[in-house]
A and B are shown apart, each in its own frame.
Chain A
């Protein structure tokens, strides 16, 4: 085997082993450099993998040299490669940005532990996207969740402990449900390999055990991806976690949970079972809508900006759920597109908030007064990413919403389209509140707030420019998302 054949395992193994080595270094700066190197090499590998997948189809790798279903198989298709690209690129950018923010927010003696946990969370998420084995997915889910709990609790604010504990309880229930679901499927099919499951499930699909397994899996992943009304852990966790952690998790963790749900719903159970014979499509549409409207409404009234954007994340997940619930090619493509676009905008927004936290130290909306003049570049970034969040034409956010509206109109459900636009309108209000404070509020006197350092601004602006670029040039995102969806539909009738 040549080095190229090992890429699927290397993309996970490099950050994983770097994470293990990190705690050995007392010096936080060294740990940061290691983490940075690992994340960028993973990103490079992810690009190569996606290239391989697009050129020569699904990439497979047999761990331990045992062929599936006896051994564990890594399997990357277009969807997996696409999500892997999201995770690795955000990790690389967030880590490039992280140094100063982490030195500011984490206790000095624990910085190398922090980076180790960060890399573990990252490799856990990457592992979920590349694996082709249901139980292996659970193992990596555990790695990523455990380290996320630790990362959130590392926040400066004491309330972060409570938030992490809440997340830990909800997350563990979710993980247990997923495990039970996988157990039920194994009981009925005798296999854990995803492709093999997909082949063997239809035979036994009409049993109570499989239906119960389906229910456990969807509720479990629903908890993990913060689907309304299972989102209660998310606002506090995002609001009180260290800035770097919020930026990374908001942009990746829920996306990977959505990916895993898609993998099970469409890749294993198949559209016919999940969305047609089970009434799950209607449930998803209903919950998605409820999530969009209620969370956006709550976001409008938030005083803490980080919390406001956390609620906005719940709303954005609503759009994704809605897209999946449409059960059509356009709808699911829109959901997949929104995974990428939402990662771009929320990454940029939460990183900008981190820059504000670094210079100002507080997150109340009144603290933003006058920042438009003090931190012009950071605020401009918030403005552009905010426009993308609303879905203004010319930004990435517009593209996914456009496809979502198309999807609803395709089915003739125009009231849904109206409600989606209402959600955008609510986003306009809450983003408007931040910008109003920043550009028209009177700054507090004698504050010596300066623009954020370049090491933070550059990664933020890369994401901001990506928001605009993918709003104008839709070839890559739309092309990948539609191909990924086509593959999902074609794999199974």
Chain B
């Protein structure tokens, strides 16, 4: 698996065809996801598959439509970067020499904080998926921070490219929209993708998944539809202005839960006040904040996609 990873990375560096490079990046992410699976980190693998292999490939492709397919110049001295990478790599290996072996139950990671997460979280939080307990409750503030990182990314794109209002477009016939099979398949598939996204959102308590992955998958559904049928339809369902509001609403929902706990006299993001029974309160809190995360992630990704696809139009009309 690691060998494949190395080969893909080298291939991605050597190619000048950016389309191929994008695809190789997709493969790279997928391999990473499989590696994470292998290490029993299911939630991480899920995220990597959805974000790395899924949506970021699509975003890179939509950028390629703007820039052109081939790298323009490659007159760079590769020595310095090579040196930096080598030094970093050897430092990483050096650091691993004294690290406890993988899977060692005596490793500090398994001895200090983790036992409480494992033994107490079913009683304290009542959610079978421990990863969700840690992310959403014990370290819920980090997750709020990460959601804001996503929000910042969307904001950065809007600050650079501006937000274009949907100029009431008729459905445009893009190159890939002409295949009948594709249209039918996508039309059927989109419903399932959206449904699956909702399942991932609500099932995060029990299995792998949660707001993050769900938002990405939900956005993917919209992006696919957009790619095949043109964006006029999608934009009519969800105008850019509403997307911005959704992104804001997601974070406000998350933070609102926290502020509610503050008003109830507990620290920020203490969910136990949300119901009479603290464990039940944790449950409600986690669900609410997962929805918040999902909504924001979905809206931001779609907004970024809109911003890119909105740029394309003037040149195509001309």
User: CA of A63 to CA of B261 in the docked complex: distance in angstroms?
Assistant: 11
- Take A1-B267, A63-B268, A190-B111 as given contacts and tell me if A113 and B158 are in contact as well, using a CB distance cutoff of 8 Å: yes
Which residue of B has the minimal Cβ distance to A139? B145
Please name the residue on chain B nearest to A107 by beta carbon. Answer: B162
Decide if B113 touches A139 in the complex (CB within 8 Å).
no
> Which residue of A is nearest B109, CB measured?
A190
A72 close to B139 (CB less than 8 A): yes
Query: Complex Cα distance A189/B111, Å?
Result: 9
Cβ–Cβ contact B156 & A13, under 8 A:
no
Q: Which among B91, B141, B266, B271 is the interface contact of A1 at CB below 8 angstroms?
A: B266
The answer on a CB contact under 8 Å between A17 and B252 is yes
In the complex, B114 has a CB within 8 A of chain A: yes
* Contact of B40 with A by CB under 8 A: no
Closest to A188 in B: B108
Interface string of B96-139 (1 = CB under 8 A from A): 11111000000111111110110000000000000000000111
Instruction: Scan A46-83; emit 1 where CB is below 8 A from any B CB, else 0.
Output: 00000000000000011111100111100000000000
B244 beta carbon closer than 8 Å to chain A: yes
Q: Which of B116, B156, B269 contacts A70 (CB 8 A)?
A: B116
Contact with A along B144-188 (1 / 0, CB 8 A): 011011011101101110110000000000000000000000000
Report yes or no: A209 in contact with B98, Cβ–Cβ below 8 A. yes
The count of residues in chain B whose C-beta lies closer than 8 Å to any C-beta of chain A is: 57
B65: min CB distance to chain A, Å: 20
Give the chain B neighbours of A61 by CB distance below 8 A: 267
- Centre residue among B92, B163, B268 by max chain A CB count within 10 A: B268
CB distance from B147 to the nearest CB of A (A): 10
Do the beta carbons of B142 and A209 come within 8 Å of each other? no
Give complex CA distance A69, B115 in Å.
Answer: 12
In the complex, the 5 A-B pairs of residues with the closest C-beta atoms, listed nearest first: A212-B95, A190-B112, A65-B270, A150-B156, A139-B145
List 15 A-B pairs, Cβ < 8 Å. A13-B255, A17-B252, A20-B151, A20-B251, A64-B268, A110-B158, A136-B142, A140-B145, A184-B95, A190-B109, A190-B114, A191-B112, A208-B94, A211-B95, A213-B95
Q: List 8 additional A-B contacts (Cβ < 8 Å) besides A6-B268, A63-B268, A187-B107.
A: A64-B271, A107-B162, A149-B156, A150-B156, A184-B95, A190-B108, A191-B113, A208-B95
Instruction: Please give the residue numbers on chain B whose beta carbons come within 8 Å of chain A beta carbons, in ascending order.
Output: 88, 91-92, 94-100, 107-114, 116-117, 137-142, 145-146, 148-149, 151-153, 155-156, 158-160, 162-163, 244-245, 248, 251-252, 255, 258, 261-262, 265-272
